[in-house]
A and B are shown apart, each in its own frame.
Chain A
Amino acid sequence: MPHIEALKTFAFHLTYNEADADDLIQETYMKAFKFMDKYEKGTNAKAWLFKILKNAYINEYRKKVKSPQKVDVDDVGLVKTTENQNERLKADLRDDIYTNELGDEVTKALDKLPEDFRTVILLCDIEGFSYEEMSKIIDIPVGTIRSRLFRARNALKELLKPYAEKMGYEDFRGRRRSRNEEE
């Protein structure tokens, strides 16, 4: 399945949730398959798939999150279902703690960024798309990509500053020095 790992990373950092990320990926490939005739041969297929995923996220996932499925309060199964969901959430969190996933400072910092900032960092610094490709994927001018990326990187550096200092770095942008050098 072409580019599926890259799409999964992007979808995961948009939704913060593996199950939702998987749904988005399924939707992306279904749409790509359905609209195959719209793909221009010779153009970047990875960028095309990312654009489909980004649009699916905006048009479907965000709507779904904003208007959760209505449940009939008289439904006798409601309490049981809610308890089950809470139990599942607790189990997921335990899994995360055991696998140290919650201790990942870079991921935590990245996920704290506003969505627009996170998107450009993921597309440029993680996936290596050019400004022109990003401009097509998220439908904004190249000039906006440039300034947004600059602000996003600075915001990420600021968020990672305490972690960097803890690891013995003064500042990613400033002079780098180890703890040994300071002592």
Chain B
Amino acid sequence: MSKSKKQLEIQRNIDLFLDHAMHNEESAHFMHEVENNPEYPKLIDQEMNFRNFIKNNVKRPGVSTDLIQSIINRIKID
């Protein structure tokens, strides 16, 4: 397997692991690789940092009380 293909596979596995989308067997195999490859924990950390960075910095517009009241009023009418 070429280096770039291997890197893609590692990235995919890290994604699945962090998304809790691995089956038990896959997860056990992945954990074994993590324990035997010192690069893995670093890469997992980087991916987690990236996700936290996105989550903490995405714009979350506020919800006005007018909107909530308007929904309540419409539900009452219906």
**A residues at B contact (CB < 8 Å):** 1, 4-5, 8-9, 12-13, 18, 21-22, 25-26, 29-30, 33-34, 101, 104-107, 110, 121, 124-126, 130-131, 146, 149-150, 153, 156-157, 172-173, 176
Chain A residues closer than 8 Å to B64, beta-carbon distance: 22
Report yes or no: A18 in contact with B61, Cβ–Cβ below 8 A.
yes
A-binding residues in B (CB < 8 A): 11-12, 15-16, 19-21, 46, 49-51, 53-55, 57-64, 67-68, 70-71, 74-75, 78
Do B15 and A153 touch (CB < 8 A)? yes
Instruction: Closest B residue to A167 by CB, please name it.
Output: B53
A33 touches B78 (CB 8 A): yes
- A selection of 28 A-B contacts at a CB cut-off of 8 Å is A4-B67, A5-B60, A8-B60, A8-B63, A9-B59, A9-B60, A25-B63, A30-B74, A30-B75, A33-B75, A101-B59, A106-B54, A106-B57, A121-B54, A124-B19, A126-B54, A130-B19, A130-B21, A131-B21, A146-B21, A149-B15, A149-B19, A150-B11, A156-B54, A172-B49, A172-B53, A173-B46, A176-B49
